Chains A and B, each alone.
Chain A
Amino acid sequence: MSWTVILVLVGGAYGFKALGVLGFGRVGNGSVAARFDPLTALIPAALFAALIAVQTVADGESLVIDARLWGVAAGGVAVWRRTPFVVVVILAMAVTAFVRWQTWI
């Protein structure tokens, strides 16, 4: 990979992050962000749900149901039962690893 490509990636990746942060700075008395507040408050819900969906069933550009779905479902039950964070993560990994191992046999 050429250094040019890497430097463009450095600039581009930072550019997007900075756009979001600096574009929503404090402007005068109120902030620009304040105007969007009811909408931005919902960004985590929309984007993290989308991220979870993609990381659970996407494989490149195809949709697959595999061991990940079982692991994430187990994690979901654990979240619902208010299990500690670390248990949620380890449980999801363990279930996924187990299902994957089962299907290999």
Chain B
Amino acid sequence: MSDHRREGLILAIAVGVVGVTFGVLADAAGLSLPQVIVMSTLVFTGASQFAAVSVIDSGGSGAAAVGSALLLAARNALYGPVVARLLPGRWVPRAAAAHFVIDETTAMAAVQDSDEDARDAFWWTALWLWSLWNLGSIGGALLGAVIGEPETWGLDAAFPAAFLALLAPHVRERPGQVAALLGAGIAIALTPIAPAGVPLLVASLAVVPGWLVGRREGSATR
């Protein structure tokens, strides 16, 4: 198996375990099995699903659940431009491919050297992730809280660490370093004062100073 397919699978296994916890939480919040399945197959945005179900579980309204979930889902719109050129050109396959544009698939595609590998990494990660996320969700909803707290095994550190590996190629040069440092700084600064999801959206503005640094360096070496 090529490296990126294997890495996609590793990421998907961790996602699958988190899917189990989603199923458990959704079941506890009163969602039926068909509802859990529709969420995981068709919403297919982990953080949003957790946000919606947590709001419902704590007695919040449907509107509050939708609001907090969609704030977290909004960042997927920013991944479109990153992967757009890798996706099928014709309208219908392209619209179908859009369903799989999430953190993990974008990250796996964006670290590849060639478009061919990037496309392969995108689709294999999508396939693994979607399958295991759904299997996990269904398993969690059916089995309930038999697995205990996944935090006990440090699963919550698996994602930031995996993304650190996927970030590395993007911060080899100054523009990427500036964008990454400012993006992280903005996200941390806004976390205490803005609803979840907003810090990530605002952090995307860090691309502008990164770009300006790159432009200045470019004109200096010319």
Please give the residue numbers on chain A whose beta carbons come within 8 Å of chain B beta carbons, in ascending order. 1-6, 8-10, 12-14, 16-26, 31, 33, 36, 38-40, 42-58, 60-63, 67-68, 71-72, 74-76, 78-79, 85-86, 88-89, 91-98, 100-101
Q: How far is the CB of A8 from chain B (nearest CB, A)?
A: 5
Which residues from chain B contact A20 at a C-beta distance below 8 Å?
Answer: 76-81, 84, 98, 101
For the complex, what is the distance from the CA of A43 to the CA of B30, rounded to whole Å? 37
Q: How far is the CB of A66 from chain B (nearest CB, A)?
A: 9
For the complex, what is the distance from the CA of A67 to the CA of B154, rounded to whole Å? 8
Which residues from chain B contact A51 at a C-beta distance below 8 Å?
Answer: 103, 160, 163, 187, 200
Which residues from chain B contact A19 at a C-beta distance below 8 Å?
Answer: 77, 80
Which residues from chain B contact A38 at a C-beta distance below 8 Å?
Answer: 211, 214-215
Question: What count of chain B residues pass the 8 Å CB interface test?
Answer: 102
Q: How far is the CB of B81 from chain A (nearest CB, A)?
A: 4
Q: How far is the CB of A57 from chain B (nearest CB, A)?
A: 6
For the complex, what is the distance from the CA of A5 to the CA of B215, rounded to whole Å? 45
CB atoms of B204 and A46 under 8 A apart: yes
User: Nearest chain-B residue to A8 (Cβ)?
Assistant: B66
Which residues from chain A contact B80 at a C-beta distance below 8 Å?
Answer: 17-24
CB atoms of A100 and B188 under 8 A apart: no
Q: How far is the CB of B25 from chain A (nearest CB, A)?
A: 12
Q: How far is the CB of A17 from chain B (nearest CB, A)?
A: 5
Q: How far is the CB of B101 from chain A (nearest CB, A)?
A: 5
For the complex, what is the distance from the CA of A3 to the CA of B71, rounded to whole Å? 20
Q: How far is the CB of A61 from chain B (nearest CB, A)?
A: 6
Indicate which residue in B29, B157, B177 contacts A93 across the interface (CB closer than 8 Å). B157
For the complex, what is the distance from the CA of A91 to the CA of B85, rounded to whole Å? 34
Report if A72-B160 is in contact (Cβ < 8 Å); known contacts: A1-B31, A6-B35: yes
